[in-house]
Every structure is written in structure tokens, then in C-alpha cells.
Amino acid sequence: MLIDFFYTLRAARLPVSVREYLTLLEALRAGVIGPSVDEFYHLARITLVKDEAHFDKFDQAFAAYFQGVELLTDFGQEIPLDWLKKVLEKELSPEEKAAIEALGWDELMKTLAKRLEEQKERHEGGNKWIGTGGTSPFGHGGYNPRGIRIGGPGRQRSAVKVWDKREFADYDDSREIGTRNIKVALRRLRRFAREGSDLELALDDTIRATAANAGMLDIQMVPERHNKVKVLLLMDVGGTMDDHVAQVEELFSAAKSEFKHLEFYYFHNCVYDFLWKENRRRYNEKTPTWDVLRKYNKDWRLIFVGDATMSPYEILQRGGSVEYNNDEAGAEWLQRLTHAFPKFVWINPEPTAVWEYRQSVAIVQRLMQQRMFPLTLAGLEGAMRMLSK
């Protein structure tokens, strides 16, 4: 079994050696971990991967090889209903109603508790038990627009809550730009000033100084010109944004190249009371959103990057986040940010043709005062013009 796992890692172009593989086997023989897929994952990563840059490849190869092996949830563990509880005020769209007759929230919670108590084994398909596939409002990989995903990566992207700790990868700011169009568009947001030490030749001043010095060369230097515009970039990561990684990486790389004063943070789906700088440390190294509001003044241009595709409850309700019980609605944080930074825009990588079919996009557009632009050349130019006013 582990020989095939070793070859799977090699096929994913991970630099895993035979010596490291033997180290993993020795650790298993010594019984350093219990019979747990999660524990084996951490042991394998420690012994086989020596560079953090390869963690993402390892995660993908591990998931591909062990897909379906792990239990979806610990049926002996009590799920905190208070953590999950929130009021569902909005009705489903006609399309969702036509797809399935979903349970109400209170009934959903009661049924979930009952199923966890009754179910003793893994289940595949169907519309009742907690498992994979099917149309049960619980489990993962199936379809229910008002369901609760328990474990696994999900499929329909419509769960109200996600009972699963997910790992996201940072956007790569060193990615090469396939076209100069993004950089050209960002250059519309320019306010040049000469700052720093004297690095550039001032040709006109040198000519004047040399002439005044009876022809003896008198070189004059000036500080290099820099774009003095300050940009605060808040980027959505994970979930539906996985479909847009390449586009956002190109935008991120271009922004770091064009703006000397650039600060960035990540969020997931909607901004709440904390942000983070590195996705692998987002559970341990959080930055309170209040600190961001206090640290940067109104001279900073605020740019949100995200597809705004989520459950409307994630924006409008307390406790609406899919990952934790947020005390304040995401809409309140968005309004605080746009009030603190009067020059702001939202850049959406989703095609504009689908915006009207997504309720959450319409909500975010209203909160952004219709300052939402597509991640296209024309959209970026429009966004930069808006920020330049």
C-alpha cells in the first residue's frame, strides 16, 4: 500500500527519496502514531517533505491517494448546536426549491442530532444518512441547498455550515504575467513622487551645473520616482475562489510590481473580525480587522478581490460564517471598511453574465455602492479610474 503511496508522491513531482520513505516506515513500526489518517498525514508530511513550498503538492497527492479512506466524522463527538445555530430569514431561490424540498433550520438541527445518535457506520448515497453523495442535508459530496457539510471537500458549494477545518494556499506573487495588460491597467492608478536616496541622473540639472562650472562636469542626481499611491489589498481565498487562482495570482503579482506601498490580507468569502497574512498560519496568526482599520489611514486605496459567491447568510447574519460563530454580520465589517477608506472598489473574477443569478453578488454590490468591477482589462481600467477620483 505505501509503495503505491510513495510512487504517487513521485508522480506529483515531489522530491521524495527512498531514505525518507524508509524513515516513514521506521516511524510506523515504532508506533509513534495511532490508527488515524490525520495522524498519518502529519507524520508523512514531516518525514517526506523537507520544503514548505511542496506542502500544497503533498496535500493534493495525499488527498488523491487516500480519498474515501477516512471516516467522515466521529459519531461519538457531540456537535455544538449553539455554534451552528442561526436564523434563516431568506427563502430559497425558485431553482433551489425546484431542485429539492429543504428542511427548515430548527428541524435540520434536530434531525442532525438524531442521525448522529442513530448512525453507527459510514453511508454512501441516499437521502437520509450522513455520508457521501445523495441528497441528504448532511454529509458531503451530495446536493442539498440548505445542508450542513460534515467532512470532505464538498461539491455543490451551497452548505450553510462547513464542519471541516480547511487549508488554503497563499497566492503566488512571483507568478509570471502572461500579458502586460494587467500592469498597464494598474498604471492608471499613479501618483509619482521622488522619494528616497539620490539614485537617478538629473540630466537637465547636470547640463546647467556643468555650464555654470565653466565646462567642468558637475553630475547632479535626484531620488528615483516612485508611485506614491498606497494600496490595501484584501483577497478572498479558498472555496469557490479555487476556480480563479491563476487570474488572482496574475493580479497580485502585477500589483506588487506596480505599487511600492502595498499591504495585503486574506479573508474567506466575507470579511469578519479578523484577517490573515499567511493561509497556513491563519488559525494561529490572525490580524484583528479593527487593527487594520486603525493602522491605515484614509489615504490608502482599498481593493477587495473576490467572487462574492456564498450563502447570503454569510453576509447578513450573525453566526453566518461557514467556519466559526462570528459575533457580527459580515455586512457590518464591509461597511466599516468602506467608511474608513473612502476610495474603494471590489474586483470580481466571475464573469458579469452570472452576477445577476447570484443573490450574494447583488448584496455585495449594494454594500460596495455598485463599485464592483470584473477582472478584465476594461474592468481593471474602470476600477483604477474610480480609485483615482
Each residue's pLDDT tens digit in the chain (389 positions)?
578 888 888 888 888 888 888 888 888 888 888 877 778 888 888 888 887 667 777 888 888 777 644 433 343 444 444 444 443 334 345 554 444 344 554 555 555 556 555 554 444 444 444 444 444 444 444 444 444 444 455 544 444 444 345 566 665 544 444 445 677 777 777 654 445 555 667 788 888 888 888 888 888 877 766 657 889 999 999 889 999 988 898 888 888 888 888 999 999 999 999 999 988 877 788 999 999 999 999 989 999 999 999 999 999 999 888 888 899 999 999 999 999 999 999 999 999 999 998 999 999 999 999 999 999 888 998 999 899 88
- Judge if 131 and 95 occupy the same domain: yes
- Judge if 233 and 202 occupy the same domain: no
- Judge if 384 and 240 occupy the same domain: yes
209 inside domain: yes
The rounded radius of gyration (Å) of the Cα atoms in the chain is: 26
- Judge if 213 and 154 occupy the same domain: no
User: With b meaning 16 or more CB within 10 Å and e meaning fewer, what string describes 1-12?
Assistant: eeeebbebbeeb
CA–chain centroid gap for 339, Å, is 23
Read off the DSSP letter of residue 54. Answer: G
146 inside domain: yes
- Residue 269's alpha-carbon distances to 11, 38, 143, 379, in angstroms, are 33, 26, 20, 21
- Judge if 308 and 367 occupy the same domain: yes
Cβ proximity of 111 and 118 under 8 Å: no
Cβ proximity of 248 and 241 under 8 Å: yes
CATH number at residue 294: 3.40.50
176 inside domain: no
- Judge if 264 and 371 occupy the same domain: yes
- Judge if 216 and 154 occupy the same domain: no
Q: Where is the domain boundary, 66, 93, 122?
A: 66
Residue 255 CB burial class (10 angstroms; 0-12, 13-18, ≥19) = buried
Coil, strand or helix: which one is 292?
A: helix
Q: Please tell me the total count of domains within the chain.
A: 4
Cα end-to-end span (Å), the chain: 62
Domain holding 216, by residue range, is 194-226
Nearest Cα residue to 322 out of 332, 311, 337: 311
- Judge if 253 and 372 occupy the same domain: yes
- Judge if 137 and 47 occupy the same domain: no
